[in-house]
Structure 1
Amino acid sequence: MLITDIERRLHKHQPRSIDTPLPEAAVLIPLVTNDQGQATEIILTRRASHMNKHSGEVAFPGGKREDDDHNLIQTALRESQEEIDLNPASVQILGTMGPVISRFGIKVIPVVGSVPENLSLNANIEELDRIFHVPLEFFTNLDNLQFHHWSMNDKTYSMPSYQYGEYLIWGLTAIMLVEFLNVGLNTTIPLDAPQFHASHSFTQNR
């Protein structure tokens, strides 16, 4: 998929808004782009096992907005530099997605950016234990998509997930990923998640 096509689709997209006043955060969805301008991979991380929150979980680089951040794009770039040593100057911002609500009551904005191939990245071991790349074609192959059932307020939701080798991509990360695939790559993966709404407390239903 050409980066120019993804950028065009993101600019045409009208993201939802959530007016509930909540703490804000942003993540970067980094698309590795080759010399022909094609997005080939997505960069993901795994949180270190000693972290108090999200330990061992797969995530996009990102974090809470700080007072000095001019906007949430700057938040995503600052956090990406802190977590994976990604120089903001190496990122071409393509657009943003609508907010989702984490289970901790934080409003998260996904920022989509293009980064060149063969960047030297380094994991901040205070927060991460791994940086890894997943081919985009893995996510667009529906044979790799799984759904798990979650319940909240007497309603059951089908939550997407992927198993890529040793990495389970699920939860809020999978939700943001699938919404990006639907908007930016024109996939049609079903997505009905409680995180799109201001009510964010839920429990897993096995």
Structure 2
Amino acid sequence: MNIAKLSVKLKQYEEQCFQLISNEEDYFSSAVLIPLVQIAGEWSIVFEVRSQDLTWQPGEICLPGGKVEKTDMNSAMTAIRETTEELGILSTDIQLLGSLKCLVSPLGVIICSHVGILSDYAHIRPSQSEVSKVFTVPVTFLLEHPPLVAQMEVATRPSEGFPFDLVPANFNRDWRKRSAYSVLFYQYQEYVIWGLTARVIYSFLEIYKELP
């Protein structure tokens, strides 16, 4: 992996995540880090398995990250802050390379993804309250094994208290299919990386494949 060329490629997307979105308050704004480490001379991505004690997506596989707080200067700061908290490392252990294009989920989530190099995988001490374990996947494996692609449908339905008297009489009051979107699945050993995490990884790999 040519780190210098990758960094140049990623710099063009830095901090553009929320600039084109006028109704940001309608979304859950978050940021993640794609943590790269060298293991036995090969570049790999660090993934987390979420703790079973968490109320949201317990036991699922994710990248370090979380909600963008008002006190965060930018989404890169969010990604670094969350990574240090979840992996038990210092901010000085992270060399930030740049960003991906922002991802707007059909389910109301904005993800700003950043790429960084961890100085040493051995430094990781996962937060037991949030992370049950960590593992790595070689970048070459992900490149050589395209994801399984499935489809998810999105439907809408008026909630309680909706002012039906203000809309046409034939307005649909039940569930109505609006759209469909692709869901990706990467399988590595006993792990399944899917959903938004898989979409972020796919976006990163698309950029990586363009490098000379």
Give TM-score scaled by structure 1 length.
0.79
Within 2, Cα distance between the matches of 1:160 and 1:107? 17
Deviation, structure 1 residue 183: 1.5
C-alpha distance after superposition, 1:112-167 (max 9, x if no partner) = 1112344320111111101111100111013x521122222454433221111121
The residue correspondences of 1:147-158 to structure 2 (distance < 5 A) are 147-152=149-154, 153-158=177-182
Task: Give the Cα separation in 2 of the matches to 1:12 and 1:69.
Answer: 21
| C-alpha distance in structure 1 between counterparts of 2:51 and 2:75, whole Å | 24
C-alpha RMSD over aligned residues: 2.5
Which one has the largest radius of gyration?
A: 2
2:81 corresponds to: 78
- Residue of structure 2 in register with 1:125 after alignment: 128
Cα distance in 1 for residues equivalent to 2:137 and 2:178: 35
User: Map of 1:41-60 to 2, 5 A cutoff?
Assistant: 41-60=44-63
Query: 2:5 aligns to what?
Result: 5
- Give the letter for the 2:30 counterpart: A
User: What is the CA–CA distance in structure 2 between the aligned matches of 1:118 and 1:129, rounded to whole Å?
Assistant: 16
**Residues 99 and 136 of structure 1, relative CA distance in 2, 3 Å threshold:** same
Structural mapping, 1:1-206, within 5 Å: 1-12=1-12, 17-22=20-25, 23-33=28-38, 40-102=43-105, 105-142=108-145, 144-152=146-154, 153-186=177-210
- The DSSP-based 3-state class of the residue aligned with 2:9 is helix
In 2, the alpha carbon distance for the partners of 1:108 and 1:116 equals 24
CA distance in 1, matches of 2:9, 2:200: 16
Q: 1:56 to 1:125 in 2, by over 3 A?
A: same
User: Partners of 2:85 and 2:122 in 1: how far apart?
Assistant: 15
Q: Hey, what does 1:196 align to over in structure 2?
A: none
Q: Which amino acid aligns with 1:50?
A: D
Report the Cα offset of residue 50 of structure 1: 1.7
Q: Which runs of 5+ in 1 are unaligned?
A: 188-206
Amino acid in the other structure paired with 2:63:
F
Q: Does structure 2 retain, via aligned residues, the 8 Å contact 1:46–1:59?
A: yes
1:169 maps to a residue whose letter is: I
TM-score (norm 2): 0.77
CA distance in 2, matches of 1:42, 1:75: 19
> Aligned partners of 2:106 and 2:128: how far apart in 1?
24
